[in-house]
């Protein structure tokens, strides 16, 4: 009896897996850049008259289906869906970038100090961050949005509180492992101050995983912002925002007006997918050891 040698398809082999991962990363990067470009060009396109003012209603408001005059149609209030979708990406990026900056400013320094100093300070901060981390992110953001009110900065603050513990834990765990390295001990033996050790010897070595966290948290922040807008707690009323537009379009959906829900929801979905693919690709590129361990574990199974 002869046996035919079984060959693993190329896309399932190690090289094929790497190529597929690289392709998905490029797709995610391309999708993300498209939304960045659209957000930057939206005001220019409005100034040149290529798109309408997203906050200006038509003279005779009526819901029109997609056409040459209105590519994505109009809402029942007479707003152009295409222009609101473009400016919705701008609002999303504004909130995401601000929330990320606030999370970095809060989580990274606390993680560095906590991991390096240790002791009671580390235990207190670890308990506080774990307590915040156990709370559901959307529920925490909704509660904070009630307190701080609407607006781009307020929405960013409401989102960032739930992300600070993630940056803290990643930076703190890296700091605990790196501070025992010989180059850190040598700097301490030479009399380097705590600030010098943190800024010159630890910061650049523990910050490598932050880009991955940014892309993954950005995807989650877009969904959370959409949830806040859907509940009427995100940006001020009338400002182009995908969640708010979905909420306004719900009543029109049973009457067959599908375009007012399709395009804001599709925009949100594509942006989240792009950021998620980019985040996973960055994780494999920045942390190749994890990729190798995952492959070896799958091969053993």
Q: How far apart are CA 53 and CA 56, in angstroms?
A: 5
- The answer as to whether 41 is a domain residue is no
- The answer as to whether 293 is a domain residue is no
**Residues found in the chain:** 301
Query: Which pLDDT band, with edges at 50, 70 and 90, does 50 fall under?
Result: confident
Tokens of 220: 């989650």
Pick the more confident residue, 207 or 122.
122
Q: How far apart are CA 207 and CA 274, in angstroms?
A: 23
Mean pLDDT on 188-215: 80
- The answer as to whether 243 is a domain residue is yes
Name the domain count of the chain.
Answer: 1
Query: Which pLDDT band, with edges at 50, 70 and 90, does 213 fall under?
Result: confident
Lowest-confidence pick of 6-20, 178-192, 232-246: 6-20
Pick the more confident residue, 232 or 57.
232
Query: Which DSSP letter does residue 202 get?
Result: I
Give the residue from 225, 210, 228, 137 showing the smallest Cα distance to 168: 210
Mean pLDDT on 147-163: 90
Mean pLDDT on 237-264: 87
Mean pLDDT on 195-218: 81
Q: Is the pLDDT of residue 30 over 90?
A: yes
CATH number of the domain enclosing 268 = 1.10.3720.10
Q: Is the pLDDT of residue 58 over 80?
A: no
Q: Is the pLDDT of residue 284 over 60?
A: yes
Determine the pLDDT at residue 59: 58
Q: How far apart are CA 211 and CA 29, in angstroms?
A: 13
Determine the pLDDT at residue 6: 40
Query: Which pLDDT band, with edges at 50, 70 and 90, does 224 fall under?
Result: very high
Q: Is the pLDDT of residue 290 over 60?
A: no
- The answer as to whether 17 is a domain residue is no
- The answer as to whether 48 is a domain residue is no
- Give the structural domain span for 260: 80-286
- The answer as to whether 165 is a domain residue is yes
pLDDT digits (tens, 9 = 90+) for 69-102: 788 888 888 888 999 999 999 999 999 999 988 9
Determine the pLDDT at residue 283: 77
- The answer as to whether 22 is a domain residue is no
Query: Which DSSP letter does residue 211 get?
Result: H
Q: Is the pLDDT of residue 278 over 50?
A: yes
- The answer as to whether 267 is a domain residue is yes
């Amino acid at each position: 009896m002869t046996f035919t040698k079984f060959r693993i398809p190329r896309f399932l082999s190690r090289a094929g897996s790497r190529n597929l991962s690289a392709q998905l990363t490029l797709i995610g990067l391309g999708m993300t850049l498209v939304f960045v470009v659209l957000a930057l060009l939206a005001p220019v396109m409005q100034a040149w008259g290529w798109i309408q003012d997203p906050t200006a209603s038509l003279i005779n408001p009526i819901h029109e289906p997609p056409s040459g005059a209105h590519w994505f149609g109009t809402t029942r209030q007479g707003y152009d869906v295409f222009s609101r979708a473009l400016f919705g990406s701008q609002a999303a990026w504004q909130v995401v970038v601000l929330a990320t900056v606030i999370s970095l400013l809060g989580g990274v320094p606390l993680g560095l100090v906590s991991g390096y100093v240790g002791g009671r300070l580390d235990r207190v901060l670890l308990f506080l961050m774990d307590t915040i981390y156990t709370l559901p992110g959307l529920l925490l953001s909704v509660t904070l949005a009630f307190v701080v009110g609407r607006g781009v900065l307020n929405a960013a603050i409401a989102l960032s509180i739930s992300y600070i513990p993630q940056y803290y834990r990643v930076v703190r765990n890296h700091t605990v492992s790196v501070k025992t390295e010989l180059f850190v001990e040598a700097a301490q033996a030479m009399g380097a101050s705590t600030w010098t050790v943190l800024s010159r010897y630890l910061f650049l070595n523990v910050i490598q995983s932050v880009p991955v966290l940014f892309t993954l948290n950005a995807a989650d922040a877009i969904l959370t912002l959409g949830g806040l807008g859907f509940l009427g707690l995100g940006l001020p009323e009338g400002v182009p925002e995908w969640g708010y537009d979905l909420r306004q379009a719900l009543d029109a959906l049973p009457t067959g007006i599908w375009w007012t829900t399709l395009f804001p929801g599709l925009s949100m979905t594509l942006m989240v997918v792009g950021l998620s693919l980019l985040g996973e690709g960055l994780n494999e590129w920045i942390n190749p050891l994890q990729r190798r361990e995952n492959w070896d574990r799958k091969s053993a199974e």
